[in-house]
Structure 1
């Protein structure tokens, strides 16, 4: 399933198989999945989306400057979703990787591949924990994640290569940022949550829902599963492209700003300039 180029090759179309539409109480969030970087994670996430398991759930851990995390929250609820091996990095040739153009604090070389922020060291490559990345939450062991996901609210580069990144927000990050800040609750704080007494369990889940009100996931869908006539369509600026290089230069060179007393150094922080994406008129023929 190859990506399709937009006008004059400047824009790359997001295939609807890799486009997730996450509807929250704060608005719509569009996510592109990184199939090549983390195929097992993408496959399981697609399965989870199609199962409807996320609908009516919450972003239950939203820490200012850190991450917004969502899913079923408690291990007791994750039975049936197999743990995944860590896919935080892979061995891949440099062809198609576009270096940022200046040094990075965390990677030997930082840049982009198909619009995804990435780092490289030799033949190893990994996606970065920049704001808007889609990562898999897990316990301490590297192969303990299944479907709980997180979105960094700020640069969390120390997580690079330690947690699998398998997508990124391409539209609606403002809606993620508007989520209510909330700390997760330990299961023992809801003593009746998993009791056999159905009434007590329902009351405990109702209390949880009240605490997390405002962070609800209303629906999640893959664009490929929506009717073509109503399916949103997105394009991402092609990397590499002359337009991307021009944009990077414009954000690196402030020498023409008369108001600056001290001209900033001509460097670009890896997470400060996400590759632009845009919603376009839907195409047909998928």
Structure 2
């Protein structure tokens, strides 16, 4: 598998991408609220509840990681990993690769375990192509990896110039599928990015993001310890399937809302008096999507 068989330092950076310049001047900084104020004062309708049928709970020795899946941009991968979770494919496997500030990768390192419901290899979904442009909430800033970047239904995304090709970006906490050299060879080996890895965009299928528990992924063992299991996965479950034992529920900011657009501006030009230089710039991985736990 790519990410397992050889280092991703061999991956080629995306080249020749055009960029969209910031077309507006810096807003009146006195009118932009701080990120914390925007989030804390947001009305109830700005918060959207996440469908628990599209949330995975990954039980690790360090704690539970909750992942929101994205069926809009990668329906095949979402369907497949839910089948794998429901058949208990990951139970007793482990997060067998941890590279500091890069990825934590889990699944079946031996490649010998055979799924009964899901598939070991499915068609790659590196991007979604649509007849009409998908409307995103744009960053409106230069990006070295894509013509346009922004947000779509609670996920950080990028697009080509006409907006008819859309994909999720590799920001911190991205949930994606490892693969071998063949585009359609991924299916069971997931990874979580521990820091932005934008050069992987469109090279693997990204199909979710960590909602809660990123610290548990960050605290996994880096190398095996003698006499101790190496980052065992107790289980992976679809959250809606275990409601009787886990009533967790989450809401996320509506990324098409005016409040979120203001949050982007607040990240571009920090309103605090401490900031001497306010560059009127940010990037898609520097604007975290606010998330709240309901239960």
Q: Same fold (TM over 0.5)?
A: yes
Match of 2:187 in 1: 146
Matched, 1:277 2:277: no
Match of 1:98 in 2: 137
CA distance in 2, matches of 1:212, 1:242: 50
DSSP-derived class of the 1:126 partner: strand
CA distance in 1, matches of 2:249, 2:271: 37
Gaps of 5+ in 2: 1-41
Match of 1:83 in 2: 121
What does 1:1-286 correspond to in 2, within 5 Å?
Answer: 8-78=44-114, 81-92=119-130, 93-121=132-160, 122=162, 123-182=164-223, 213=229, 215-227=231-243, 230-254=246-270, 256-258=272-274, 260=276, 263-281=277-295
Gaps of 5+ in 1: 1-5, 183-207, 282-286
DSSP-derived class of the 1:112 partner: strand
CA distance in 1, matches of 2:142, 2:185: 33
Q: How many residues align?
A: 249
Question: CA, structure 1 residues 230+257, in 2 after alignment: closer, same or farther (shift >3 Å)?
Answer: same
CA distance in 2, matches of 1:139, 1:63: 18
Deviation at 1:8, TM superposition (A): 4.0
DSSP-derived class of the 1:161 partner: coil
DSSP-derived class of the 2:106 partner: strand
CA distance in 1, matches of 2:244, 2:113: 34
Match of 2:20 in 1: none
Deviation at 1:274, TM superposition (A): 2.2
Deviation at 1:134, TM superposition (A): 0.7
Q: 2:95·2:230 contact (CA, 8 Å) conserved in 1?
A: no
Question: CA, structure 1 residues 240+79, in 2 after alignment: closer, same or farther (shift >3 Å)?
Answer: closer
CA distance in 2, matches of 1:129, 1:106: 11
Deviation at 1:235, TM superposition (A): 0.8
DSSP-derived class of the 1:77 partner: coil
Match of 1:186 in 2: none
Q: 1:26·1:214 contact (CA, 8 Å) conserved in 2?
A: no
Q: 1:72·1:78 contact (CA, 8 Å) conserved in 2?
A: no
TM (norm. structure 1) is: 0.81
- What are the Cα deviations for residues 213-268 of structure 1, in whole angstroms up to 9, with x where unaligned? 352212221111123574211111101112212222222113643464xx041111
CA distance in 2, matches of 1:209, 1:221: 27
TM (norm. structure 2) is: 0.78
CA distance in 1, matches of 2:208, 2:274: 39
